[in-house]
Amino acid sequence: MALLLIRNNKDYQPWIKALQKADPEIELVTPETAKDKSAVTMAVTWKAPNGSFEGYPNLKVIGSMGAGVDHLFNDPSLPKDVTLTRVVDEELASDMQEFVLTLCLNHIKNLPLYRSLQDQSQWKPTQYKRVPDVQIGILGFGTLGQAVGKTLQQTGFQVSGWSHSRKDVEGITSYKHDELDEFLAQAEILVCLLPLTEDTEGILNTALFEKLPKRAYLINVARGGHLVDEDLIAALDSGKLSGAALDVFHTEPLPEDHKFWNRKDILITPHVASMSNAASVAPQIAENYRRMEKGEELKNTVSQDKGY
């Protein structure tokens, strides 16, 4: 029995080291070293090239090395009869909490404006917002959305979340799927933390922006596919939105000629909100491998039907 690692950048060493530390008895292979493909029973991956899972007759589990699983579903040849898993990790959550809090404070205290005025040696005090006066809405109120929501709420923001089903989180108003309009109407800062699925692709579009309060601010830390790029540009040009912070893009790295680069009202970060750390994540991968071997229920499974 062996655990197959597949990474698009072929950077295996930190993962091999961390997995060996988590459980030295697990045999680890990569597509390059897997001599006997029938020995592979589980694979963990980050953005495996399409078709990577073909030819492993005893593959039972495919795990994402990160929280997102859209990269798995991008592969039309993803086996239907395997169990899918993903990462749920405290470090991943706390990194996301810190990142989104930073972006919210950066926005309400006008720091990007002052950075750009500095280029022109301009001294121009501008009215800032106070934390308790700002309402933040989190689209996708799941593991990361709730973690971020709690941090924002503890900082003093007014927070609400939107998800398929209503959640019970103290101090935060939770809206369910059919209450989207009500949720959007009060989101002065909108944070997208949805998984990318058929239902959520392109959700950040003109129709949605129209339902936000005037001069709302958008933070997208989920996936580039959630955003209709031209609709964001139009909403910024019309003044409907006051700005955006984008960490994720349709094409990454963001192409050099993309319109977003030259906008002062868009803050671009290179998909760094929260990154899986092999040392932190390896123990849960090793645990799921052992559970699979013993026929036990796996942790952090993903629904093939829902796509998340």
Minimal CB distance to ligand NDP: which residue? 142
Candidates 61-69, 236-244, 259-267, 288-296 — which segment interacts with ligand NDP by CB under 6 A? 61-69
Cβ neighbour number for residue 154 with a 10 Å cutoff: 12
Q: Which residues have a Cβ under 8 Å from the Cβ of 154 and sit 6 or more positions away?
A: none
Q: Is 44 in contact with 3 (CB distance < 8 Å)? A: yes
Q: Please check whether residue 21 is in contact with residue 285, taking contact to mean a CB–CB distance below 8 angstroms.
A: no
Report the residue number, 31 or 68, with the smaller CB distance to ligand NDP: 68
Catalytic residue among 71, 164, 258, 271: 271
291 catalytic per annotation: no
Contact (CB, 8 A) for 302 and 86:
yes
Closer residue to ligand NDP in complex, CB, 225/243: 225
Q: Does 248 bind ligand NDP (CB under 6 A)?
A: yes
10 Å Cβ neighbour count for 271? 16
Q: How many of the chain's residues bind ligand NDP (CB under 6 A)?
A: 30
Q: What element of type H or E holds 252?
A: none
Two structure tokens written together for 257:
């000629």
Q: Which of 223, 226, 250, 263 is catalytic?
A: 223
133 φ/ψ angles, rounded to the nearest 5 degrees: -90, -5
Q: Which is nearer to ligand NDP, 6 or 92 (CB)?
A: 92
Separation in Å, CA 291 to CA 56, 61, 228, 288: 20, 11, 41, 5
Are 164 and 191 within 8 A, CB to CB? Answer: no
Cβ 61 to ligand NDP shortest distance, Å: 18
As measured in angstroms, the least distance from the Cβ of 129 to ligand NDP is 25
Q: Which stretch binds ligand NDP (CB under 6 A): 37-45, 53-61, 106-114, 271-279?
A: 271-279
Q: How far is the CB of 94 from ligand NDP (least distance, A)?
A: 12
Q: Phi and psi at residue 162, in whole multiples of 5°?
A: -125, 130
Whole-angstrom distance, CA of residue 146 vs CA of residue 265: 27
Q: Of residues 126-165, which lie at the interface with ligand NDP (CB under 6 A)?
A: 140-145, 163-165
Single out the residue of 219, 221, 235, 285 in contact with ligand NDP (rule: CB under 6 A): 221
Based on the residue annotation, tell me whether 271 is a catalytic residue of this protein.
Answer: yes
Judged by CB under 6 A, does residue 204 bind ligand NDP?
no
Q: Which residues are catalytic?
A: 223, 271
Q: Using CB under 6 A, list all residues that contact ligand NDP.
A: 66-68, 92, 140-145, 163-165, 177, 193-197, 199-200, 221-223, 247-248, 271, 273-274, 308
